[in-house]
Amino acid sequence: MKSYVAVDLGGTNLRAARYTPDGELLTHIKHPTLAKDSNESVLDRVVHLVQEVLPANDGAQDEVEAIAIGAPGPSNPFTGVVYNAPNLPGWVNLPLREIMQSRFNLPVELGNDANLAALAEWKFGAGRGHNDLVYLTISTGIGGGVISSGRLVVGANGLAAEMGHVVVAPDGPVCGCGQRGHLEAMASGPAIGRTARARLRGGAASSILELVDGHIKAVTAQHVGQAAKDGDPFALELLNEAGTFIGRAVADFMHIFNPSIVILGGGVAINVGELLLQPVRAAIRDRAMSDIYYINCPVTTVQLGDDVGLLGALALALETHPV
Ligand SMILES: [Zn+2]
């Protein structure tokens, strides 16, 4: 039987699975990443992970069409080099494809995790049936992926669709990338937590303080989400502000890509759902040049869960090595 191996390299968990060309799951495995270990040991674990999901070594391995890997952080799908994986120390300019290809003697494809999540939602999730899709993940960082005219947009070096690194507040705080006022610096989980802590220190009243026993420095976006769901006005205002920044950026993306669906994922968006989506939609209505951009373009949340990275890798494998 033909099959594909999908690998998802997360900062917390390493996952691998083998699927049939129809997307039927044959085998699945998950191990902690233990990212603080040396570069070699994480790489060793990735190799072992793939070994574990390959068919029993009786020659049947020949039936695997390809291995596709979703890597955290920017990578080059043409050269197979991971430029930099912020959650995997030492993974800088790592020739991952070459390493895996020589180890397994199988074709290896590489993709950025946010791009692959967009691919997964397009093929298997909320974006099925659409040809033009914008996907944003609101999490520790803000990443994204774009399907345009039925193709994943990767750019010349695989660095396209870094949607979190657009300027939404020119005088805003410095982003993790070193530039100022990027969407990621204004509306990611850490950004929401940082703003919450600053205002609580300034004397703002909120039920968040009860959630952390008064320890303001312990406040995270998760507490903000929890309090917002309980109707806390301070927390709702924080989500409103974050959603407004996201919506303004999405209006710009709509002007560039004219999508027929916008899909938001990542821990922050999944946790609070409509509490974030409503201000996103309001800001889009406010900023779009024409209502044609949003009238028939739903702004919705992801449908896929923890296996989104694996399904994205599968989608990449199916696209690049069709049977
Ligand atoms: Zn940035």
- pLDDT tens digits, residue range 274-311? 999 999 999 999 999 999 999 999 999 999 998 999 99
The two three-digit tokens of residue 119, written as one number:
């691919």
Q: Do residues 20 and 63 both lie within one domain?
A: yes
How far from 51 is each of 58, 64, 91, 97, CA to CA, in Å?
A: 13, 12, 21, 16
Q: Residue 105's pLDDT band (boundaries 50, 70, 90)?
A: very high
Q: Do residues 269 and 310 both lie within one domain?
A: no
Mean pLDDT value across residues 120-149: 96
Q: Residue 80's pLDDT band (boundaries 50, 70, 90)?
A: very high
* pLDDT for the residue 60: 53
Q: Do residues 159 and 84 both lie within one domain?
A: no
Rounded to the nearest whole angstrom, what is the distance from the C-alpha of residue 58 to the centroid of ligand 1?
Answer: 48
DSSP state of 61: G
User: Which amino acid type is present at position 97?
Assistant: R
**Enclosing domain of residue 10:** 3-118+306-320
Q: Using the predicted structure, report yes or no on whether residue 212 has a pLDDT greater than 80.
A: yes
For 50-59, 102-111, 264-273, which range has the lowest pLDDT when averaged over its residues?
Answer: 50-59
Q: Do residues 289 and 152 both lie within one domain?
A: yes
Mean pLDDT value across residues 7-21: 92
Q: Using the predicted structure, report yes or no on whether residue 40 has a pLDDT greater than 70.
A: no
The 10s digit of each residue's pLDDT in 140-195 is: 999 999 999 999 999 999 999 999 999 999 999 999 889 999 999 999 999 999 99
Q: Using the predicted structure, report yes or no on whether residue 86 has a pLDDT greater than 90.
A: no
Rounded to the nearest whole angstrom, what is the distance from the C-alpha of residue 163 to the centroid of ligand 1?
Answer: 9
Question: Which string of DSSP letters, residue by residue, matches 180-246?
Answer: BSBHHHHHSHHHHHHHHHHHHHTT---THHHHTTT-GGG--HHHHHHHHHTT-HHHHHHHHHHHHHH
* pLDDT for the residue 62: 58
Rounded to the nearest whole angstrom, what is the distance from the C-alpha of residue 175 to the centroid of ligand 1?
Answer: 5
The rounded distance, in Å, linking the Cα atoms of 19 and 299 is 30
CB atoms within 10 A of CB 257: 19
The larger pLDDT score, comparing residue 3 to residue 84, is at 3
Q: Using the predicted structure, report yes or no on whether residue 204 has a pLDDT greater than 60.
A: yes
* pLDDT for the residue 84: 86
How far from 166 is each of 9, 76, 159, 169, CA to CA, in Å?
A: 26, 21, 14, 9
The percent helix, strand, coil of the chain (3-state, each to 5) is 40, 20, 35
Mean pLDDT value across residues 235-248: 98
Rounded to the nearest whole angstrom, what is the distance from the C-alpha of residue 31 to the centroid of ligand 1?
Answer: 30
Q: Do residues 111 and 24 both lie within one domain?
A: yes
CB 48 within 8 A of CB 16: no
Q: Residue 225's pLDDT band (boundaries 50, 70, 90)?
A: very high
Q: How many domains does the chain have?
A: 2
Tell me which residues have their CB within 5 A of the ion that is ligand 1: 165, 175, 177, 179, 182
Rounded to the nearest whole angstrom, what is the distance from the C-alpha of residue 180 to the centroid of ligand 1?
Answer: 7
Rounded to the nearest whole angstrom, what is the distance from the C-alpha of residue 154 to the centroid of ligand 1?
Answer: 18
Q: Using the predicted structure, report yes or no on whether residue 234 has a pLDDT greater than 60.
A: yes
- Give bridge partners of residue 3 from the DSSP assignment: 64
Q: Using the predicted structure, report yes or no on whether residue 59 has a pLDDT greater than 60.
A: no
Rounded to the nearest whole angstrom, what is the distance from the C-alpha of residue 50 to the centroid of ligand 1?
Answer: 33
The rounded distance, in Å, linking the Cα atoms of 109 and 72 is 14
Q: Do residues 171 and 198 both lie within one domain?
A: yes
Q: Do residues 159 and 297 both lie within one domain?
A: yes
User: pTM to 2 decimals?
Assistant: 0.93
Rounded to the nearest whole angstrom, what is the distance from the C-alpha of residue 179 to the centroid of ligand 1?
Answer: 5
% of the chain residues with pLDDT over 70? 97
Mean pLDDT value across residues 234-247: 98
Q: Do residues 110 and 176 both lie within one domain?
A: no
CATH number of residue 55's parent domain: 3.30.420.40
Q: Do residues 131 and 250 both lie within one domain?
A: yes
CA angle 141, 17, 92 (to 5 degrees): 45
Q: Do residues 235 and 170 both lie within one domain?
A: yes
Mean pLDDT value across residues 133-145: 95
Rounded to the nearest whole angstrom, what is the distance from the C-alpha of residue 141 to the centroid of ligand 1?
Answer: 9
Rounded to the nearest whole angstrom, what is the distance from the C-alpha of residue 245 to the centroid of ligand 1?
Answer: 14
Quote the mean pLDDT of the chain: 94
The rounded distance, in Å, linking the Cα atoms of 256 and 160 is 13
Rounded to the nearest whole angstrom, what is the distance from the C-alpha of residue 189 to the centroid of ligand 1?
Answer: 14
The larger pLDDT score, comparing residue 69 to residue 10, is at 69
Rounded to the nearest whole angstrom, what is the distance from the C-alpha of residue 24 to the centroid of ligand 1?
Answer: 38
Q: Do residues 107 and 20 both lie within one domain?
A: yes
Pairing mode, strands 64-71 and 75-76: unpaired
Q: Do residues 159 and 93 both lie within one domain?
A: no
Rounded to the nearest whole angstrom, what is the distance from the C-alpha of residue 181 to the centroid of ligand 1?
Answer: 8
Rounded to the nearest whole angstrom, what is the distance from the C-alpha of residue 211 to the centroid of ligand 1?
Answer: 30
